Every structure is written in C-alpha cells, then in structure tokens.
Amino acid sequence: VRSPLSCLENSPGYLVKLAGTIECSTGRPALVYIMYGCYCGLGGQGWPRDRADWCCHKHDCCYDDAEIAGCETKIDQYQWTCIDMVPDCGTCERILCQCDQEVAKCLGKAPFTGKYALWPDFLCGYEHPTCNIY
C-alpha cells in the first residue's frame, strides 16, 4: 500500500522528508511531534520523557554523526517511498535516509503520550544523556 504522502517524495527540504517517513510509520501527522517531549522538533535538552522522546534523541545523535561524516543534515536530499507503512530508502543521502527511517520506525512502535505534546523546554532540565549510549 502506497502512502498518499508519496507525492512528497521528491519535494525539497529535509523536514518534508522526515515528516513523510514519520507519517508513513506512525499513521499520525508529523506535526504532533513538533514540540513533543524534550527532543522531538528543533533543538533538544534535558532527559527524554518517554520512548517516543528517546526516539527523537537518538535521531538527533544520528544527525550529529552524519554531520561529523561531512553531511549537511539540513540541506542534503534523498529519495524514499512508503510501502506497507515502512519508509524505504533507495553516502550522505543514505545516512540521512537511514536516520529518518530509524526514527520513523521507532516512533511507530512507541506509544504517543498526549501530555508530552507541546512540552515546554523549561521542564526538560539540563542533565541529558550522551549519544555514546547508542
């Protein structure tokens, strides 16, 4: 089954790609994660609040690794398709696609906890896990 989001596959912008993979795996609009917990959306600080927030923390770490490898995480493009609720990727493009694919699968398995939607940053604190835990 192909997602109606497949029309977005070739659109520019990493956020459209990421949003599409998340919607493919979760069946939820990606916008529900825009300020979810302490790590979903832009930035990130403090301790992840739940499994979904841990998914976003891991995605941030994946993008950090991609940048260390020389990738431009905000502008590099890649192609993907959605088949049977699984985003599929077709060097840097592969790394970014895999980062987004992993967070989408992770969020698809994690429960969505409504109280963490629109979670304010000041409740996150400053102690945070490092990326070397993955």
Segments making up each domain of the chain, as ranges: 4-116
Q: How far apart are CA 134 and CA 75, in angstroms?
A: 25
14: pLDDT confidence band, cut at 50, 70 and 90?
Answer: low
Give tens-digit pLDDT for 83-128: 788 877 646 778 888 999 999 999 999 999 999 999 999 999 999 9
Is 39 labeled as ligand-binding? yes
**For the chain, what is the mean pLDDT?**
85
Q: How far apart are CA 37 and CA 107, in angstroms?
A: 13
Give tens-digit pLDDT for 24-33: 999 999 999 9
Q: What is residue 72's predicted lDDT score, i.e. its pLDDT?
A: 81
Amino acid at 66: A
Q: What is residue 13's predicted lDDT score, i.e. its pLDDT?
A: 58
Burial 71-97 (b: 16+ CB within 10 A, else e): bebeebebebbbeeeebebeebeebbb
- Whether 50 is catalytic is no
Is 43 labeled as ligand-binding? yes
Architecture of domain 4-116: Up-down Bundle (1.20)
For 68, what's the count of Cα atoms within 13 Å in the CB-facing half-sphere? 7
23 vs 72, residue with greater confidence: 23
Q: What is residue 46's predicted lDDT score, i.e. its pLDDT?
A: 97
- Whether 100 is catalytic is yes
Reduced to 3 states, what is the DSSP secondary structure of residue 2?
strand
1 vs 56, residue with greater confidence: 56
Helix residue ranges, H only, 71-128: 92-109
From the candidates 50, 53, 57, 59, give the one annotated as an active-site residue: 59
Global model pTM greater than 0.85: no
Q: Report the DSSP beta bridge partners of residue 82.
A: 87
Element holding 81 (H helix, E strand) = strand 80-83
Q: What is residue 89's predicted lDDT score, i.e. its pLDDT?
A: 66
Is 64 labeled as ligand-binding? no
